[in-house]
Structure 1
Amino acid sequence: MNGWPTGVGRRVFDTIDSTNIYARAIVNDGASPVWIMAHEQTDGVGRRGRAWSTQRGNFAATYLADIKDDLNTVALRSFVAALALYDALIDVGVSADRLSLKWPNDVLLDGGKVAGILLETAGVGPSHICIGIGVNLAHAPEPDKMETTATPAKSLLGDVGLNISAERFLDALAPAYDARETQFRANGFDSTRSDWLAHAARLGETIVARTPKGDTVGTFETLDQTGAVILQTAKGRCAIHAAEIFFT
């Protein structure tokens, strides 16, 4: 990877409640774009409000940036971030054939979750995007602390034997995200979508999309231009815009 991206700030904390909370608190300080990282996170929140605390040795960070697009386009940054994570994991020594991307915002190692992404907006308008990222560098959550239906967790140390510090990973992730963001701005979603699909988990296979209204079972065909997952079901093609994905 190249060096630290020009014009991007860096703030590293020993312990913090949540990097996303901190990011939201500084939206009016003129600090963005900036990476905010903590060696320990005590009160983080994941998707759907789930607890997302971070043990020492793991990676927790938020990228705070000004919003310069409409909100639908901003939401596509989950795919940009997923590709940046994929690139950074390869940069620190993970073999590409062990990695895949799970819609909408997880990175898998040998089929188990090693990293996740949470997008939030902040400020009036809103004015900023907060991209929260967690990576199991040294520790994977214990199975009894996870939902029974959750994708099994993996870690770089436990499953690959790589001992990567959080700051070393940040040094890989920041330029990787900068490169993927540049690609997105230059080419729109098309090239990002194509690259994401090239690494998609279970593409062409049967998956389950679970929403509050129930489960939709179908063959994972592609992503559309909005980032929705397209399933071929018994009732025809179906676009899923928000759901929990489960593998059969």
Structure 2
Amino acid sequence: MTRDHLERPAPGAPDFLFEDLDSVGSTNALCFERARAGHGGNLWIRAAEQTEGRGRRGRDWSSPVGNLFASLLLIDPKPAERIGELPLVAAVALADAVDKAAGTLHLVQLKWPNDLLVDGAKLSGILLEAEILADGRQAVVIGFGVNCISHPPLAMYQATDLRSLGFQVSAERMFEALASSFSVHLGTWREPGGFQQTRKNWLDRAAHLGKEISVKTAREEISGIFADLDAHGHLVLKQDDGGVRTLYAGDVFFPGD
């Protein structure tokens, strides 16, 4: 399991701690273990390989060596009432990190809430989970998976990786860019009104903005025009009858998916 058990300042983000490991079940799960053991947070854990990686809604996430698998542990992130905005903060930070690592400009588009797409194919996955600890603190863990050198066949989506796109980006380089970018975007989010800058950055990369999409929620499937994000990052869907629906969770599908 261990490559380097010792915590040290994260490359690119010295205000955060960092553990670098060979193989783990799940970096998200390990972050929660650290939190339950009393860790103070601001901890990145990166693994060369995951054996039990998972995505949103409990889906498996393929985790072969060479791709990036990293999770960030935050304890009681403030402002607490806006924690639901963090998936979009993470998406914007990762999109910027991809550009920094690959030397590109707006290579990726964003699919609500936090998928990164290149020409419609999925490049990464982001999974945010939260837990109230026994001592009353809230642990928030944000997991990132980036296809640097390979990608799995996905039943629901097309997928791609940076090497297939012509970019030679190691997992180590990708992580350094991500740690640095996330530190900056988290700082912006923490400022009064800071999410509005995140929202603007997200919309600048939005896939299918102004076009028809479908959203599958736990109860129904809704179609309409992707009109906007509201002030907290929820998806605003304009329907054929002129009505507007604001959606707080769901899987987005584009025509042809």
Give yes or no for TM over 0.5.
yes
TM-score by length of 1: 0.92
Q: Secondary structure at the match of 2:102?
A: coil
Structure 2 counterpart of 1:200: 206
For 1:5 and 1:212, the matched residues in 2 are separated by 38
Q: 1:65 aligns with which of 44, 54, 74?
A: 74
The 5 Å alignment of 1:48-197 reads 48-69=57-78, 72-93=81-102, 95-124=104-133, 125=136, 127-142=138-153, 146-147=154-155, 150-159=156-165, 161-186=166-191, 187-197=193-203
Structure 2 counterpart of 1:230: 236
| Kept after mapping to 1: 8 A contact 2:88/2:114 | yes
Listed as ranges, the gaps of 5+ residues in structure 2 are 1-10
Identity of aligned residues (%): 35
| Kept after mapping to 2: 8 A contact 1:67/1:74 | no
Deviation at 1:94, TM superposition (A): 5.0
Deviation at 1:31, TM superposition (A): 4.8
For 1:36 and 1:180, the matched residues in 2 are separated by 19
C-alpha RMSD of matched pairs (Å): 1.7
| Kept after mapping to 2: 8 A contact 1:229/1:241 | yes
Aligned length: 241
For 1:234 and 1:67, the matched residues in 2 are separated by 41
CA deviations 1:199-238 (Å, max 9, x no partner) are 1111001000111322111000101122210010023111
| Kept after mapping to 1: 8 A contact 2:189/2:195 | yes
Structure-2 change in CA distance of 1:189 and 1:97 (3 Å): closer
Q: Secondary structure at the match of 2:143?
A: strand
Paired residue type of 1:247: F
Structure 1 counterpart of 2:21: 13
* In the alignment, structure 1 residue 244 sits paired with structure 2 residue 226: no
For 1:119 and 1:182, the matched residues in 2 are separated by 18
Listed as ranges, the gaps of 5+ residues in structure 1 are none
Paired residue type of 1:217: S
Deviation at 1:140, TM superposition (A): 0.9
CA deviations 1:99-120 (Å, max 9, x no partner) are 1011011111122110111000
TM-score by length of 2: 0.89
For 1:208 and 1:72, the matched residues in 2 are separated by 28
CA deviations 1:53-104 (Å, max 9, x no partner) are 3001111110111123365511211111111111110011253343101101
